[in-house]
Amino acid sequence: MPPRLIAVSNRIPTGSPSSGGLVVALRDALSASGGLWIGAHPDPGTGLEEMEEVSGGGCRCLAFRLSEEEISDYYLGYANSVLWPLCHRRVDLVEMPSTYEERYRAVNARVAKLIAQVARPDDLIWVHDYHFFPLASELRALGLANRIGFFLHIPFPSLGDLSVLSQPEDFADWLADYNLLGLQTRGDVARCLEMYRADPRAEFMPDGTVKMQGRITSVRSFPIGIDVDHFRELAGVGGRNPFGREAPDGFVIGVDRLDYSKGIPNRFRAFGRYLKTRPEGTRPCLVQIAPPTRERVQAYQDITSELEEIAGRLNGAFAELDWTPIRYIHRSIDRSVLARLHRMARACAVTSLADGMNLVAKEFVAAQDPEDPGVLILSRFAGAAEDMTEALLVNPYDIEEMAAAIHQALEMPLDERRARHAACMEVVRRTDATRWAAQFLAALRTCMPTLSPQVAR
């Protein structure tokens, strides 16, 4: 029996079993070790409750409740109005009233206490994402010497952007309490090491680890992936046509949370540019599924209005009575419908201005018929572009280049589509979700243990 795993993430699977890559990968690892998944309850509370069991994702989940103030200051505030824009190169969107950081630190301290109540000395603890950077420091302060790993799902920030934080040196310090720091790409690792190089407290050890005031951290990339076979099954032939009788015969698909990091306005503008110059007689269509996210944050309200305005303007200019070029759905849709849409699309546009990995890119590739595949248009600023070099890589700031890529994708000869798809599919399989979790956990198990958790700094 492997050591028990405790996974911690702000969002946990609740309700019906989810088929997202993270859930699948962690569910397998958790059930193999009889482990636990700890995260925030979907409903608010007083912030004083003990943890409670919730059902979800096919594994044992324990949830803590966040008070309304914690949701405002820790989740919407410090996590999503400071750290998210900072890591996605949008420091112009950072808002930092002091209550955000205070509450972020307080929630991390409280969650650490709750974890300490259930953790056993030989458990592996795997913390996920930017909501919990300081969690290991809080756990060490409580005396936990367990091996603790951290995986950052979003881009690692640049050194320059980190200086926006009120105490940038605390950021490196928080990370130093993890035994293993997992990042999406080699580019993220390079940015993280740049941060340590600029910090006089950090030393580089001959084995590549970083030592900071007695604490040793290994920094490596583990590109995340999806449950490939499951998604292929969902996308498989025989399912219902999601359009009913009237399916567009060739369309470009976009699927993203409506987040400013996804570059959706520029995607629409590029599609508009393509519409102007499209081959005569064609009636191309962009199907954009963009469910709302973090709606109480101003920057998300702004992007929603911007997108509605662009979609309205383009449809106004180009639509005909029997043709709507942009079909924009501002809702979440069933994953099996999503998978079918990917399969039917001639191209997928992923145009992130910054993105940790972008699982949609991998889902689109997995869903294709290898004999007659669609083409992935992929921003070079998405983590997926580091390995999926045979996608049509684009600069999402360059509208003309993206319009040309849409044209190239829709006109691409079958042989080239097959060759590009096969190369991308090889990456999708090589980096699937199960392997991602197994490789991270194998690396965590071999990390040097923390000898004195409350090391004097």
- 369 has catalytic annotation: no
DSSP letters spanning 20-38: -HHHHHHHHHHHHHT-EEE
Q: DSSP class of residue 383?
A: G
Any idea which residue has 């004999």 for tokens?
371
Q: How far is the CB of 380 from ligand ADP (least distance, A)?
A: 16
Binding positions for ligand ADP, 9-38, rule CB under 6 A: 20
Asked if residues 8 and 346 have their Cβ atoms less than 8 Å apart, the reply is no
C-alpha closest to that of 105 among 134, 65, 76, 147: 134
The interface partner of residue 127, options being ligand G6P, ligand ADP, none and the CB cut-off 5 to 8 Å by kind, is: none
Q: Which is nearer to ligand ADP, 173 or 259 (CB)?
A: 259
Q: Which of 25, 63, 125, 154 binds ligand G6P (CB under 6 A)?
A: 154
Distance of CA 95 to the CA centre of its chain: 22
Does 363 participate in binding ligand ADP (rule CB under 6 A)?
yes
Does 335 participate in binding ligand G6P (rule CB under 6 A)?
no
- 355 has catalytic annotation: yes
The interface partner of residue 11, options being ligand ADP, ligand G6P, none and the CB cut-off 5 to 8 Å by kind, is: ligand G6P
Q: Which is nearer to ligand ADP, 128 or 273 (CB)?
A: 128
Quick one: CA torsion of 404, 409, 414, 417, rounded to 10 degrees? Answer: 110
Any idea which residue has 């994402």 for tokens?
129
C-alpha closest to that of 217 among 179, 272, 257: 179
The contact pattern for ligand ADP, residues 250-279, with x = CB under 6 A and - = no contact, is -----x-x----------------------
Q: DSSP class of residue 74?
A: I
The contact pattern for ligand ADP, residues 327-346, with x = CB under 6 A and - = no contact, is -----xx-x--x--------
Residues β-bridged to residue 52: 63
Q: Give backbone dihedrals phi and psi of 407, rounded to 5 degrees, phi first.
A: -60, -50
* Residue nearest to ligand G6P according to CB distances in the complex: 153
| Interface contacts to ligand G6P, rule CB under 6 A | 11, 129, 153-154, 293-294
Q: Kindly list the residues in this chain that would bind ligand ADP in the complex (CB under 6 A).
A: 20, 255, 257, 289, 291, 332-333, 335, 338, 357-360, 363
Catalytic sites, residue numbers: 153, 355
